[in-house]
Structure formats: structure tokens, C-alpha cells
A and B are shown apart, each in its own frame.
Chain A
Amino acid sequence: MDNRGTQLPPHLGDIKKEIEKYAHEFGLDFYETIFEVLNYDEINMVAAYGGFPNRYPHWRFGMEYEQLSKGYEYGLSKIYEMVINNNPSYAYLLESNMDVDQKLVMAHVYGHVDFFKNNFSFQHTNRKMMDEMANHATRVRRIIDRVGIEPVETFIDRALSLENLVNQHAPHFPPKPRDEATEEPIEVRGFKTNREYMSQFINPQTFLDEQRKKLEEERAQKKKFPERPERDVLLFLIENAPLERWEADILSVVREEAYYFAPQAQTKIANEGWASYWHSTIMTQRALKDSEIIDYADHHSGTMGVRPGAINPYKLGIELWRHIEDRWNKGRFGKEYDECDDLRARRAWDRKLGLGKQKIFEVRKHYNDVTFIDEFLTADFAVEQKLFVYGFNEKANRWEILDREFQKVKKKLLQQLTNFGQPIIEVVDGNFENRGELLLAHRHDGVDLRIDYAKDTLVNLQAMWRRPVGIVTRVDGKGVLMRFDGRDHTDRKVEL
């Protein structure tokens, strides 16, 4: 790939110019975007690397690669678009695609790059991640040269096992100042008295001892570690676990990459929807030739297909963007509209405001998936899109549709999206029961953890912390402390 340079073949260069021009005309605002043409083997590699041409060596990428290649060989899946949030942005075109596909991909990519550049979720993202990833690869390779592949691989396995334990909000806050206050000796002052001979009655020794104990406890409380629960478990480990320097280095590589990918996971629906909205707009209003319509329709509908048991972010997203545009074009918002309960009047409601375009550009700046859904998924929309909640029927051992009620659908959807679909877990004590044990807590939100995975994750955590580790969670409604001491797993009931 590296030896191909970034020169597009002439006819693709022309298509790029054309699509770029349309994207500008529609008001999209994007970084310079570089398209590279890859064959399917190369594109599978890049996809396995999460979009990047260069990552540190790890078997997990090989596993992804195998699954992608199999999917392609069996004709089950074909990657059409991939784009890196970077300045300049990089995107890939599959060599064997038809020109109409390349157009579609380019239009879609410009949508993504506009979103990356303008959405608030990415304001702290490193826009030179392409270089950073290559640096990470070099760093890890050097470590491997020094300490050997086996220990590094094992450590990366452990680090990846904890990679979802980051605080997605952290990039938006400045790092907390280090409290480096030096410890002063505890000085116990009794009640003031200027009558020396009375002091042993006013401040008897037992009282002074009690005071000292109290102060010591207070200080211990202050020294509680961490002072407040810490969501960024990886950071806590980097700072406090007894790691070798190379281990800390790898852990910070994994952490940095996790923070790079996190906002993409938080904006999947909005972002894919936005890109799909724009490829469909650009293609159908400008770029399509008559002879290309069939293939375009075929591929567009393929992307938009839904399965009953999953949300297709492309489909949900594009429909929601169109829904917003339509509402703001027709003035279907505000107190008057919300309070109108005449169904006929609502259906015919059209104030001809034409604010749709303006509104969607505004929304693409300030919303992530959670707020996007929370604010704009209306009851009408849920009915129109035939959304439902499903669950597992234990008795019949099968998945069933449970409900179509709007509030339930919305609640479930938001729950799935909160903390990008990961359970919220924080460090509550780094010196649990004063034995140097590490205690995590799972903020239970109605769904239990998967126990077998949790146990194996504890094993990985323990290997880093070296002392016993535990997590407080809820299983079947009861508080449980799952603990691993390096040899055995134990469960203990706890009050929550």
C-alpha cells in the first residue's frame, strides 16, 4: 500500500473532484480527504487494523482479518467504506468496485469527514492519529525486541481485556491537579486554657487520645485512594499498579487508542446516518447517471436493510435525520405543535418554515447518539419505523418481541447506548480493607454482568495489580463481591 502513493487513477480522480464539488455546494465542511485504492486483501487488512495501515503486532488483528476475509470469500460481507478521522482524512476504495460504488463511497465519506470535523464529540481527538498509531506500533515493536514477544503479547491481552474501562467524558475535563501536599505531623490541641494547673482536668489524657484518633481517622479518610471513585480504570492502573516501565508504556498505548475510538462508538447512529443522508442526497440529486440507478438502488438498499433482532445504525440514523429535517421544514416543533392533540391537524401541519437544513447542521454539531435519540426520537417516528423491544423468553428458549410502546422502546435504546453500550465500572478502593487489594464497583443499571467474562477479566486485572482484586456487582438482584486472589475465585454476599 505504501508504495502506491496517493495518486488516484485519472477517472477516479475526476469522480473525486466532482463529488467533492457537490459536497461543498451542499454546505459540508470537511478536512482534505485522501482516497486510496486497495485490493480486497489490503482492505481487509486495513479494516482489521481498525482503519489504520499500521498497528502494533497482535494476534487479535489477525483474527479480525481472518473473519473479514472469510466473510468476503463467502460473499457474506463486503466492506464498502472506511475512513480515518484524521487531518487530512484517509479513506479507502475497493479496487474491484464499480464506478457507481466508488461515487457512493466518496459521497458517504465526505459526510463522515464533515461529521468528524464538526461534531463536539471529536473536539479533543488527536487529528494526527495516523502518525500516532504508527508511533505506537514502533514503540511496541521496540519493547518486543527488548523483552521478547511472549511477555508483551500476554500483557497486551490483559490490557485489551480492560480497554473498555475508560471514562468517556474525561477528554472534556482538564486533568485534575496533582495534590502533592506534604504530610504534617498530627498535632492535638485540647481546649484552650490559660490556667496551667487546670489543664489536666479540662483536657484529660483520655480526651486527648480520643482527639488524636479522630484526627488520624480523618486523615485516613482523606488519604482514601482514590478519593472519589475513578472511572478511568486504565489511568488508575498506570499511575498506581506495580508495573514495569514497558508495561505502563503499553497500557498507555492501549488507553490512548481506546480514547481515540470511544467518541466514534458514541456517535455511531448519528454519524452513519449523517453520512448515509449525504450519500443519498448527493447521489440522487447530483451525481447519478441514468445507467447507474439500478446498481445504486441495489447497494443503497443493501446498506439500509434491517434485521428484526438488531438496530441498523445506517437506517435508523438516516431516517432520524430526514425526520428532523422534515419537522423543521414544516414547523412541527415547539409548544403549539406539542400541545396540539388533533390528529388531523398534526398530520397536515405545515408552517412552511424551511428550517430543516439549518437544523440538521446544528444538530450534527452538538449531539451524540444518546442526546440525538433522546431529543429527536418521537412517538410518531417509533411507529413509522416499526421499532420494538425484544427480550429472551427463558421458558420457551427463544427471542420474542416484547413491546412496541414508545417509552419502553426509547428507554431500552438509550440504555443500550449509554456509556457506548458498556457497563459502568469504577475503582472505589485501591487499598481495600487496608490490605492493598483493588476494589471495583459496577454501577448496576438493570442488567447483570456476564459472569464467566467478569471472572476472566478479574484474572487479567489481578495479574496487573499483583494483589487480590474484586468487583462489587449485583447478580439476580443480590449484591455480590466477586474476588480473585491470584489462585482462586470467591464470591461473597454484600449489602448494597
Chain B
Amino acid sequence: MPLKIKQDHSRFREIIRGRIKENLRKYIQKGEMIGKKGKDLITIPVPSIDIPHFKYGHKDQGGVGQGEGAPGTVLAPGAVEGDGKGKAGQGEGQHSLEVDLSLDELADILGEELALPRIQNKGKKNLTTPKVKYTGVHTAGPESLRHFKRTYKQALKRSISSGLYNPKIPIVVPVREDKRYRSWRMQELPQSNAVVIYMMDVSGSMGDEQKEIVRIESFWIDTWLRSNYKGLETRYIIHDAVAREVDRETFFHTRESGGTMISSAYKLCKEMMDADYDSGSWNIYPFHFSDGDNWSADDTRTCITLLKGEILTKVNQFAYGQVESPYGSGQFIKDLRESFEGIENVALSEIANKDAIYNSIKDFLGKGS
């Protein structure tokens, strides 16, 4: 029998979707509003969902608790009921409710609101790999997978019911029959078949604000692509006059002072593709962010040759985002525009500030390639 409450529940989800859509521009600007919860879930503060009441301000109120500790002892974060709930909302001057949402749902909302076309399947097959998944508890298995709590409980039960248990000497010795083990199953899980190669200019002219913009954009790009491909890999390249591969953390936090040679990044990108991502089985998405201040016209020419000759033939789409900075000349995007006018799988976008992220995501993902 379908539960009556499912109606109320789907109405609730509908309302949430509506509110998120209404506020999407704000969420997109402020990536930090979105928290991660596990692998596929995010939490998102949804304004005005909670029903407002006349109620006490929480911080003023305090309360009575129970436990150890002298006056002045700090209560662990989260120990106080309702704590944290108000925090996100307070700055906004509005109450909000943290709601769980799957990344797929978020991507759907993003797609609907920005009218993004679903990505056309290129006919590349999905590759799968076997993966171990723990599914239950068994009475047999290797010692390394022994479930301590279950085993102990079983042993305790047995020793009490057989009269062996002595509360004064509460030693419990498990025997073979008591032992419980985690059991597993092999599952075929889809392998990553899309890769995003992020490249970023970290020369002196790229400040924290510019990097923040890149970080937020990359979150939304990941979200969208992940919903279109079962698996998604990400790689990160930073460059000034030379390029190197880094992890995600380093990518967003490195600052160099050298000059800028964009071709170094494109070269590395091409090498990466050649080594790891066969264009027959991978959907490849290079994204490059810079303030558009390349070292020389010569280097720009090298870049264009690289793109035309090597990169564009292998990738689904090449995207370049130019983040406005007080130092950059912003010449690079003009050069690219000249050379790639009308070419399907090149997406170019100028990002003036956080407000522009919304439209820039549309530029990048609006082509559906």
C-alpha cells in the first residue's frame, strides 16, 4: 500500500526544488553555502522553509545540562541542541533549513534553470570495473574482517546463558561459533569515462578572488558533468611560465610570482591525454582559467597551434574562462576568439566577478557537447 505521507513528502521536495531554483543565482555565487555530506549528498540551506514562530533567541537562552566539568568547561560543538542551525541563516537575516539533496537532483535543477542541454552520447562505451562492497555479516570469514562488537555480544550471550559468566571477573572468551565476520560481494561498478582537466594560471596577477571564482565554477562544472557521466575523473594543472600537475588542494591555494606561458599548460594537458586518456574511450573536458595575460604573441600562437592540431580533435569540448583581474590585459580571449570563431567545441567565457559565474556556466555547458 502506498503510504499516505508520500504525497506530503513529494510536496515537500517540490517546495525545496522551487526554493533552490529561485535562489540558484545566490547559491552559484556562494559556493561555500553548500556543504558536502558523504559522496553523493550535499546539504544546502534553503531559506524560509522552516515555519517561523515567536520563539526565544537561542544564544541568549542557554540551558541546563547534565555531566562532568567545572564552570568554564567548554561544551563540545554540537552538544547543544539546535546549535548551528541558526548560524547560516543569521547572516542572511533569514531563517533557513539545511536540506539534503543528492548531486543528481542539484544537477537537474541547475540544468532546468540554466536550460542546459543534456550531453549527447558520443557512442563511447561505459567501462566497468569490479568493486568490493560490504553487504552483511556472516559466521565465517577471514580474521581481518571480524566484526568485534557482534562477536563480543554473541560470546557474552553464550557465556551468560550457559552460566559461565561471572560478573566479578567479567572475562568473555569467544569461541569459534561466536565469531561474526563482515561479508562482501563483488559488484560491477561503472568506471570513470569522463575526465575534466582543469588548468589554471597561478601567476602573480591571479589573486584570491579570482581563484575563488575558479573554485566555484569548478564545483558546478563537476556537478553537471557528473550527472551526465556515471564516473568522472578530475585532474589539475597549474602553470605560470612552467606547468605541473598538482592535487586539488594545491590547485586552489598555490600562488606563484613568475610570468605566464599558457602553452606550457596546454603541452602538459596534451601529454596527459596521450598517456592516460585514449580519446576512443574517454570524454575529455579541458577547462582553462587565466586572467588572459600571456607572455608573448609567440606563445599565444603556439597555444593556438596546439589546440588546433592536437587537443581539439580529441576532446569533447575545450573551455577557456577569462577571470577579470586588475593586472591582466585580457588579450588572450580576443586571440582565441579570432582563431576559433564558429568552432563547435570551443567555449569561451569572460568572468568579470562572482555575479558573472551564473552566465559563464551557461557559456561553458550550454553547448551540450
Binding site for B on A (CB under 8 A): 1, 3, 41-42, 45, 48-49, 54, 57-63, 65-66, 70, 153, 157, 160-165, 290-291, 293-294, 306-312, 315-316, 385-392, 394, 396, 398-404, 409, 412-413, 416, 421-423, 425, 442, 447-454, 456-457, 460, 471
Interface assignment of B169: CB less than 8 Å from any CB of chain A: no
Evaluate contact between B66 and A291: CB separation under 8 angstroms.
no
Evaluate contact between A309 and B55: CB separation under 8 angstroms.
no
Q: When chains A and B are docked, how far (Å) is the Cα of A323 from the Cα of B91?
A: 46
Map CB proximity to A onto B36-62 as digits: 1 under 8 Å, 0 otherwise: 000000000000110111111111111
Q: Could you tell me the distance in whole angstroms from the C-beta of A168 to the nearest C-beta in chain B? A: 15
Evaluate contact between B74 and A62: CB separation under 8 angstroms.
no
Interface assignment of B280: CB less than 8 Å from any CB of chain A: no
Evaluate contact between A49 and B70: CB separation under 8 angstroms.
no
Evaluate contact between B63 and A161: CB separation under 8 angstroms.
no
Q: 6 tightest CB-CB pairs across the interface, nearest first? A: A62-B8, A62-B12, A309-B80, A62-B9, A309-B79, A391-B62
Nearest CB to that of B96 among chain A residues?
A: A452
Of the candidates B56, B66, B76, B100, the one whose C-beta lies within 8 Å of that of A306 is B66
Q: When chains A and B are docked, how far (Å) is the Cα of A60 from the Cα of B55?
A: 18
Q: A58-B8, A453-B54 are in contact. Are A3 and B65 (CB under 8 A)?
A: no
Main DSSP-derived SS at the A contact region:
mixed
A45-B3, A389-B65 known; 19 other A-B pairs, CB under 8 Å? A59-B11, A62-B8, A62-B9, A66-B13, A163-B53, A308-B67, A310-B65, A388-B64, A388-B69, A390-B62, A394-B59, A398-B74, A400-B73, A401-B72, A421-B56, A423-B56, A449-B55, A453-B53, A454-B54
Interface assignment of B309: CB less than 8 Å from any CB of chain A: no
Evaluate contact between B75 and A390: CB separation under 8 angstroms.
yes
Interface bracket on B: 35 or more
Binding site for A on B (CB under 8 A): 1, 3-5, 7-13, 15, 48-49, 51-77, 79-81, 83, 86, 89-90, 93-95, 100, 153, 156-157, 160-161
CB pairs A–B below 8 angstroms (27 shown): A45-B4, A57-B8, A59-B12, A62-B7, A62-B8, A62-B10, A70-B100, A157-B51, A309-B76, A311-B65, A386-B66, A388-B64, A388-B65, A388-B67, A389-B64, A390-B75, A390-B80, A396-B74, A401-B71, A421-B56, A442-B54, A452-B89, A452-B94, A452-B95, A453-B55, A456-B94, A460-B52
Nearest CB to that of B66 among chain A residues?
A: A306
Evaluate contact between B64 and A416: CB separation under 8 angstroms.
yes
Contacts of A311 in B (CB 8 A): 63-66
Q: Could you tell me the distance in whole angstroms from the C-beta of B42 to the nearest C-beta in chain A? A: 14
Interface-central residue, A3, A65, A388, A404, by most chain B CB under 10 Å: A388
Q: A62-B5, A311-B66, A447-B61 are in contact. Are A453 and B79 (CB under 8 A)?
A: no
Q: Could you tell me the distance in whole angstroms from the C-beta of A179 to the nearest C-beta in chain B? A: 29
Q: When chains A and B are docked, how far (Å) is the Cα of A65 from the Cα of B1?
A: 17
Evaluate contact between B9 and A399: CB separation under 8 angstroms.
no
Contacts of B5 in A (CB 8 A): 45, 48-49, 61-62, 65
Evaluate contact between A308 and B54: CB separation under 8 angstroms.
no
